[in-house]
């Protein structure tokens, strides 16, 4: 096991940021910690990277204990905290050289690891980090975290606040890194990114809701789910909420994901109800639940 957590709890005053968390990450796994702001992701990362000591429980990274062997962990992991902490007044090249030196290596030594990523920002290597766009900062921060070929990579919300194109590119890079044998623990609030991980842990308010592979997690959704569409989204939501048998009503893009309380749900009945309400072009079809549906269900 590359990372293990056993009954880890951590509080700030009255707020329990991590509540009895246990799970493990295998070597070479791409593991996602999925949850919104305030779920406890950053606190968990800080416990694992030895920046905070948990109130209860134990944890190991690369077989080293986070409290007793913190120095060994600090020598062997890559860490990218939120907000792309880079030196704004140093250039791309200077930032990279700095981190390489700190880790006792050179840019050349492990260049093959960061090559795909670096070539995208190389044309700007003499530009100061402060003047880079969000996507470029993200790539630079990733390079800096990888430059010493760590065994385990911790990425705390690396895609937050970045546009969808850069996010997609970033995950493609992560997948390629995984093939080189690095264990990656990444946290994100974006549910669609969860689908790209080997396994995910859904976390909300300090607690783990469920851990499994993405395809398995959706099986935890307890009811049959349907896409319902009509000509007026607002009216559709209102009417569905007034339908007495509704179990869950959540807008998803141009449709509403609807689940009924009854196992013997009748599409036609609902269609009639909605058309009576004045809605047109009513459209109901069964769909498979997504991770987001599952998350919302488990978080209730």
Q: Which stretch binds another protein (CB under 8 A): 20-28, 91-99, 217-225, 260-268?
A: 91-99
**Residues within window 257-276 making contact with another protein, judged by CB under 8 A:** none
Binding to another protein by residue 149, rule CB under 8 A? no
Q: How far apart are CA 76 and CA 282, in angstroms?
A: 57
Candidates 19, 55, 65, 94: give the one binding another protein (CB under 8 A): 94
Q: Whose Cβ is closer to another protein: residue 18's or residue 49's?
A: 49
We find the least distance from the C-beta atom of residue 285 to another protein, in angstroms, to be 14
Judge contact between 215 and 197, C-beta under 8 A.
no
| 89 near another protein, judged by CB under 8 A | yes
CA-to-CA distance for 125 and 71, rounded, in angstroms?
A: 32
Residue-wise DSSP of the chain = --EEEEEEEEEETTEEEEEEEEEEE-TT-EEEEE--TTSSHHHHHHHHTTSS--SEEEEEETTEETTTTHHHHHHHEEEE-TT----TTSBHHHHHHHHHHHTT--TTTTHHHHHHHHHHHGGGTTSBGGGS-HHHHHHHHHHHHHTT--SEEEEESTTTT--HHHHHHHHHHHHHHHTTT-EEEEEES-HHHHTTSSEEEEEETTEEEEEE-HHHHGGG--S-EEEEE-S-HHHHHHHHHHSTTEEEEEEETTEEEEEESSTT--HHHHHHHHHHTT--S-EEEEE---HHHHHHHHH-
The residue within the footprint of another protein, chosen from 6, 11, 22, 51 (CB under 8 A), is: 51
172 lies in the binding site for another protein (CB under 8 A): no
Output the CA angle 150-154-158, nearest 5 degrees: 125
Residue 173 makes contact with another protein by CB under 8 A: no
Q: Is 49 in the site for another protein (CB under 8 A)?
A: yes
Alpha-carbon span 201 to 34, nearest angstrom: 6
Kindly tell me which of 4 and 50 has the beta carbon lying closer to another protein: 50
Whose Cβ is closer to another protein: residue 263's or residue 289's?
289
Q: Which of residues 52, 152, 155, 185 is near another protein by CB under 8 A?
A: 52
Given 134, 181, 272, 278, the residue binding another protein (CB under 8 A)? 134
243 binds another protein (CB under 8 A): no
| Binding mask of the shown chain, residues 183 to 222, with x at each position contacting another protein by CB under 8 A | ------x-xx-----------x------------------
Q: Does 9 interact with another protein (rule: CB under 8 A)?
A: no
Interaction of residue 88 with another protein, rule CB under 8 A: yes
Compute how many residues bind another protein; rule: CB under 8 A: 62
254: contact with another protein by CB under 8 A? yes
Residues that bind another protein (CB under 8 A): 35-39, 46, 49-53, 73-75, 77, 79, 81-83, 85-90, 94, 97-99, 101-104, 133-135, 144, 160-166, 168, 189, 191-192, 204, 233-234, 237, 250-254, 292, 295-296, 299-300
């Amino acid at each position: 096991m590359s990372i293990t957590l056993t009954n880890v709890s951590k509080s700030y005053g009255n707020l329990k940021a991590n509540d009895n968390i246990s799970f493990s990450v295998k070597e070479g796994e791409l593991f996602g910690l999925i949850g919104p702001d305030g779920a406890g992701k950053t606190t968990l990362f800080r416990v694992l990277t030895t920046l905070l000591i948990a109130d209860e429980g134990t944890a190991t990274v690369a077989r080293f204990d986070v409290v007793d062997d913190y120095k060994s962990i600090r020598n062997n992991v890559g860490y990218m905290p939120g907000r792309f902490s880079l030196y704004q007044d140093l250039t791309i090249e200077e930032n990279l050289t700095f981190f390489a030196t700190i880790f006792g290596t050179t840019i050349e030594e492990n260049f093959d690891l960061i090559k795909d990523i670096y070539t995208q920002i190389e044309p700007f290597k003499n530009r100061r980090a402060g003047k880079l766009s969000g996507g470029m900062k993200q790539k630079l921060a990733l390079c800096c975290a990888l430059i010493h070929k760590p065994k385990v990579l911790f990425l705390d919300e690396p895609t937050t606040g970045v546009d969808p194109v850069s996010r997609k590119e970033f995950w493609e890079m992560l997948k390629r890194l995984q093939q080189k044998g690095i264990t990656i623990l990444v946290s994100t609030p974006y549910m669609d990114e969860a689908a790209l991980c080997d396994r995910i842990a859904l976390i909300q308010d300090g607690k783990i809701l469920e851990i499994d592979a993405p395809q398995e997690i959706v099986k935890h959704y307890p009811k049959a789910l349907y896409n319902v569409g009509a000509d007026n989204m607002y009216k559709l939501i209102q009417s569905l909420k007034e339908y007495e048998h509704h179990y869950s009503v959540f807008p998803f893009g141009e449709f509403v994901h609807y689940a009924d309380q009854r196992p013997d749900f009748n599409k036609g009945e609902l269609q009639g109800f909605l058309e009576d309400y004045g809605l047109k072009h009513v459209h109901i079809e069964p769909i498979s639940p997504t991770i987001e549906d599952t998350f919302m269900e488990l978080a209730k």
